[in-house]
Amino acid sequence: MTLIEMKRTSIVLIERICATRNVAWFLILLIALALCAPGKLAAQKIPVLPGIPEPPKPLNPIVAPTAPSRPFTPVEKAYQRAIQEELKRQAEAQRQQKEVKTLESELTKLLAEFGPTARYFYTNYFIYIYDTSDAYAKWCSTLVENAANAYLTFARKLKLPIQPIEEPMIVVIFSRKEDYEAYLKKVAGSEIDNAKTKPLGFYSTGANRSVFYDMTGVEKTITEKTNVTKKTTLEEIATAILRRPHAQENLSVVVHEATHQIAYNLGLFDRGSENPAWAIEGLAMLFEPPCGAIKFGGWKPEKDFPINKQRVLEFKAYERSSADARPVRRCVELDRISGEEPCAYPLSWAIFYYLYKHYPKELAYYLYYCRMQTPRTTYSDVERVTEFEYFFGDDWDGMYLQLKVFVESLILQSNGLAEEEANKLARKKYNVPEEEVQEKGKNSKKKAGDKSSN
């Protein structure tokens, strides 16, 4: 029976049952349909309508075998290199253009700040603003540039990190002391007003500027022999300047302040953080003594830094007059080195020079460790002492005794004695046996070695 015939038969039966109104027959009909209709329907094949194709079966993707890349020909390689070089050239040109714009902007502000008499020139690292003669500015810039090169040698020797220069370092050179002091007051304010003595030069970490003036008065000379404005070569200029009173002091001030600026900008110290004050000043005093040939301006270390005779005299004067308990610890605790504290400058120099000469590796570990603690907004005297003790030991009295022996040996060496003989006589003067010196050295090296392994 087909589906259509079943439909017709069902309709006839339903009509008859409804006519007789017999409920029993109606129920029988429903049961019959429920039992028979699914089987019959399942047997029927529903035809597929024409014009609608069956969906295609998915095909497996065909993976092509990996073929080796064709090697570049020499012409193609040259072309690729040319592209890379051109990209580098464009990037370098953009960098230089940005630097020029920054430099022009900085120079415009500086010239507006220092007035119509100010002039300028610049080098790889520095911008020099000055109202002196060109000759005097040339001498000062030579000292500053030599200090930068000497610092790079110092940092490489101690294997200290050197970071790239982020902004030009500004050096301001005044002709008149009055203009220098007015600018000093403008920058430092009440800090200078309260000081007993005004500095002969200074470096401002906030403005990133080192500032000094002509202490010799050489440009005021009128004789042909000493008039620096008539000199042309660096050797002639330096000769004329260094004949003047206070010339050696002037030279030391320029190198001292430039060393501060260089050390901060090349990453040894952090301008926005607290640093060990004794190390900041000790490094600058290591650099400041005059040395080198006159043709280099009067300052250029050849092999190593010479003895700072001025600081030797200050240390001996402090040793004779002071009764401070543990002066080395007192110096390390200071958050600022100034002439107000008698031990500040002589001991900062002696500690740094002693460690540089005898324990350069430990000194390098200490400086690197302090640099890695930045940014450090607070740096208590307890922290300063603890860090120093970790690297160099906690025998403060013994350290001071070693410094006295060291400085005494320097005096004897400057008088012509060999280093070994000078050390022997210095130890004898202070009753320090050789075994004690060696033991202290071993302890110090052990501490620094432990720190480096961590």
Is residue 210 a part of any domain in this protein?
yes
- 315 and 434 together in one domain: yes
CB contact set of 106 (below 8 Å; sequence gap of 6+): 127, 168, 170
Of 256, 272, 288, which residue is a domain's last?
272
The 8-class DSSP code of residue 47 comes to: P
Is residue 21 a part of any domain in this protein?
no
Beta strands (DSSP E) in 240-398 are none
Is residue 159 a part of any domain in this protein?
yes
Is residue 68 a part of any domain in this protein?
no
- 386 and 252 together in one domain: no
Q: What does the pLDDT read at residue 224?
A: 46
Beta strands (DSSP E) in 125-275 are 126-130, 169-174, 201-204, 209-213
Q: What does the pLDDT read at residue 249?
A: 93
User: How many domains, in total, are found in the chain?
Assistant: 2
- 243 and 382 together in one domain: no
Q: For residue 440, what is the enclosing H or E element?
A: helix 434-453
Is residue 55 a part of any domain in this protein?
no
- 248 and 327 together in one domain: no
Of 251, 272, 293, which residue is a domain's last?
272
Alpha-carbon span 118 to 128, nearest angstrom: 10
Is residue 11 a part of any domain in this protein?
no
- 155 and 262 together in one domain: yes
> Can you give the CATH number for the domain in which 173 is found?
3.40.30.160
- 123 and 206 together in one domain: yes
Q: What does the pLDDT read at residue 197?
A: 72
- 357 and 433 together in one domain: yes
Look at phi and psi of residue 415 and say left if phi exceeds 0, alpha if psi is from -120 to 50, else beta: alpha
Instruction: Supply the range of the domain harboring residue 443.
Output: 307-454
- 179 and 318 together in one domain: no
Q: Give the pLDDT of the chain (454 residues) as one tens digit per residue.
A: 555 566 566 666 666 666 665 666 666 666 665 555 544 444 445 454 455 555 556 556 555 566 566 677 777 777 788 888 888 888 877 776 776 667 777 788 888 888 888 898 989 889 999 999 899 999 999 999 999 999 999 999 999 999 998 888 999 999 999 999 999 888 876 556 556 677 899 999 988 999 999 998 876 664 445 566 666 788 999 998 998 889 999 999 999 999 999 999 999 999 989 999 999 999 999 999 999 889 999 999 988 999 999 999 999 999 998 877 789 999 999 999 988 888 899 999 999 999 999 999 999 999 999 999 978 989 999 999 999 999 999 999 999 999 999 999 999 999 999 999 999 999 999 998 875 555 554 455 455 555 544 4
- 268 and 316 together in one domain: no
- 263 and 120 together in one domain: yes
Task: Look at residues 145, 164, 381 and name the one whose alpha carbon lies nearest to residue 277.
Answer: 381
- 246 and 351 together in one domain: no
Is residue 122 a part of any domain in this protein?
yes
Of 248, 272, 296, which residue is a domain's last?
272
Is residue 316 a part of any domain in this protein?
yes
- 339 and 435 together in one domain: yes
